[in-house]
Amino acid sequence: MLIVKGVYDGNEIKLLEPVKIEGKHIVEIKFIEGEFAKDHQLNAFRKARGIWKDRPDVDAVLKEIEERWRQWRRNLEESV
C-alpha cells in the first residue's frame, strides 16, 4: 500500500508528491476536513508576522503554535 497526500479541488485530486507506479490501480480516498484550510491560514499568519517585528512575546507564541501544529500532524499521520 502506498499513501500519498493530495488536495481535492473541484473535480480533481492533485497529488502533492510524484508517484512512480504504472497501470491502473484501485484507490481509496479519505477526506480530512479543514487540513488544507488550516495550512492556508497558518501560511497567511506567517506572512503577517513582520507586523510584530521585535516582539519576543509574539515570537514565543508563534513558535509554540508551530510546534503544536507539527505534533498534531504527526499524531494524525500515525493514526492513519
**Residue 73 structural domain:** 6-79
How far, in Å, CA of 3 to CA of 16, rounded?
Answer: 11
Q: Is the model's pTM score more than 0.95?
A: no
Please check whether residue 1 lies inside any domain of the structure.
no
- The whole-number pLDDT of residue 64 equals 94
Tally of domains within the chain: 1
Residue 39, pLDDT > 80, answer: no
Average pLDDT, integer, range 42-66 = 82
| DSSP letters spanning 40-67 | HHHHHHHHGGGGGTT-HHHHHHHHHHHH
What digits encode the pLDDT tens for the residues 14-36? 888 888 889 998 888 887 766 66
Side-chain-facing half-sphere of 67: CA atoms under 13 Å: 6
With vertex at residue 75, the alpha carbon angle to CA 13 and CA 72, rounded to the nearest 5 degrees, is 80
